């Protein structure tokens, strides 16, 4: 489709672009004239948030468009402006959609208990991206380790060797039962 569209200069033709961005995440990458067109970018990110990577810098500061992008694909937070990476509602929606989005949230957001809890409830290993303070928060670490025993390696030094945390990790890993039966 892409070479054909290029041949006929369709990437300059708005009605074509409007349709194309709703079918393919890459379309906005070709439609260079429309990367700062709010309406087109909004259609594109609603179809697939990752289209935000092709948006103009100005658009990555647009709250409404970035919100639509992270609701579709949480990890498109990577392409949002620095300011929006610390916008609580945007980061919350991103992490709700995909816990891994925490990796590219602002430092401040990675120290936000509610946001980090949402993330580690989905993927324990996302604990890696939490602030040092939250890596030392028992409830956060326990939630992460219950979800994935390997999360223990990202806990603070203190909690990584904590009895309750270690026991939970061992249970979660399945070793507990093997050990119990080996006795
Ligand atoms: C975070 O951003 C980096 C590039 O800055 C990217 O390589 C990585 O995949 C992103 N992570 C997520 C989970 O989106």
Is 85 a pocket residue for ligand 1 (Cβ < 6 Å)?
no
Is 104 a pocket residue for ligand 1 (Cβ < 6 Å)?
yes
Residues 41 and 76 in one domain: yes
Residues 85 and 27 in one domain: yes
Residues 70 and 159 in one domain: no
- With b for 16 or more beta-carbon neighbours within 10 A and e for fewer, the 40-79 pattern comes to bbbbbbbbbbbbbbbbeeebbebeebbbbbbbbbbbbbbb
Q: Which pLDDT band, with edges at 50, 70 and 90, does 2 fall under?
A: confident
CA 38, 44, 45: angle at the middle one, nearest 5?
Answer: 90
Q: Which of 49, 79, 106 is the last residue of a domain?
A: 106
- Reported as a single tens digit per residue, the pLDDT across 132-141 is 999 999 999 9
Q: Whose CA is nearest to atom 14 of ligand 1?
A: 75
Q: Which atom of ligand 1 is nearest to the CA of 98?
A: 13
Residues 132 and 68 in one domain: no
pTM of the model as a whole: 0.91
Rounded to an integer, the average pLDDT of 72-87 is: 98
Range of the domain at 28: 1-106
Is 103 a pocket residue for ligand 1 (Cβ < 6 Å)?
yes
Domain tally for the chain? 2
Residues 69 and 152 in one domain: no
């Amino acid at each position: 489709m892409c070479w054909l569209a290029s041949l006929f200069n369709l990437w300059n033709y708005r009605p074509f672009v409007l349709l194309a961005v709703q079918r393919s995440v890459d379309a906005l990458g070709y439609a260079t004239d429309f990367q700062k067109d709010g309406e087109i970018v909004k259609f594109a990110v609603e179809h697939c948030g990752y289209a935000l990577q092709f948006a103009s810098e100005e658009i990555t500061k647009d709250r409404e468009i970035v919100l639509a992008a992270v609701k579709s694909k949480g990890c498109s937070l990577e392409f949002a402006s620095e300011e929006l990476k610390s916008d609580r509602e945007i980061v919350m929606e991103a992490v709700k959609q995909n816990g891994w989005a925490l990796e590219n949230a602002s430092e401040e957001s990675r120290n936000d208990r509610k946001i980090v809890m949402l993330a580690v409830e989905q993927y324990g290993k996302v604990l890696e991206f939490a602030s040092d303070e939250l890596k030392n928060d028992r409830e956060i670490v326990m939630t992460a380790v219950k979800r994935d025993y390997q999360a223990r390696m990202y806990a603070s030094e203190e909690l990584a060797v904590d009895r309750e945390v270690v026991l939970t990790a061992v249970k979660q890993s399945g070793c507990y039962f093997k050990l119990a039966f080996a006795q």
